[in-house]
Structure 1
Amino acid sequence: MDRELQDSTGAPVTVALERAEPVSAYTVSVAGERVGRAEFLDVPDARERVFFHTEVDPRFGGRGLAGLLLREALADSLREGLTVVPVCPLFARHLATHGDEYVAEGGAFRRPSRADLALVRRAAQGA
């Protein structure tokens, strides 16, 4: 999945999905330079995706890149029929405010459990 979009300044950006084990990420690039990522884990034996960390290079702050990552990640999760588990504060805030809209579009999300947090800790230690 590579999507060509524009940031809030009108500059072209690319949002891509990078698969890896155990941590995958949606990345955003400006002029070919990777400047941000939204990291996630797909839960084994479940149709769930745990988003746990989103970061954009401060040099590119204020351009809406974190929002682009978030929206593309949620849209992709919806297309794949995955339940989103928002450990990342950005995802949690967005779904707390716009969760009803996401569900109305056919998406699903739930609050993180202790097991989700432990899964993230184990993945971070192994990374």
Structure 2
Amino acid sequence: MDTDLPARTVRNTPDCNRFEVLVGDEVAGFTEYLDMDRQRIFFHTEIDERFAQQGLAGVLVHAALTETRAEKKRIVPVCPYVAVYLERHDEFTDVTDRVSRKRCGLSRSLANRADSNRSISH
């Protein structure tokens, strides 16, 4: 094991409605969500190109889904990455809801509005 690698951590940043994955002290990526009632709708996941191919998206999404379950919320995977992750990891099936057209449209609308304000460093 290489002990010179920076620590990788995931934190929830509720004020920004996103989970962030950090490498050392630097934000390497995020997955954005919207909480509605008892559901957490994941609508966008992004990893900075400098940190690509390190498995960070999987680490990030796993931690986000685990915390969502612990908060007794249901997962709605509008984000394509989160949807594929859930197809490959059935341990979250019991807390996952299908994406409804209403939820999908709302989440995509929010994602489009957030595009102008979105950045890795936030």
**In which range does the TM-score fall when normalised by the shorter chain?**
0.7 to 0.9
CA distance in 2 between counterparts of 1:125 and 1:59 reads: 24
Structure 1: gaps of 5 or more residues: 1-8
Deviation beyond 6 Å, 4+ runs, structure 1: none
1:30 offset after TM fit, Å?
1.3
- Aligned-residue identity in percent: 39
1:125 offset after TM fit, Å?
5.0
Per the alignment, in what secondary structure is the counterpart of residue 42 of structure 2?
A: strand
Say which of 56, 59, 72 aligns to 2:63: 72
What's the Cα RMSD here?
Answer: 1.8
1:40 offset after TM fit, Å?
0.5
- TM-score (norm. length: structure 1): 0.78
CA distance in 1 between counterparts of 2:69 and 2:47 reads: 23
Structure 2: gaps of 5 or more residues: 115-122
Deviation digits for residues 67-97 of structure 1 (CA, Å, limit 9, x no counterpart): 1111100100110111100011111112122
In the alignment, what sits opposite 2:101? 114
CA distance in 2 between counterparts of 1:117 and 1:10 reads: 38
- TM-score (norm. length: structure 2): 0.81
Higher helix share: 2
In the alignment, what sits opposite 2:92? 102
Specify which structure has the bigger relative contact order, considering alpha-carbon pairs within 8 angstroms and separated by 6 or more residues: 2
Higher strand share: 1
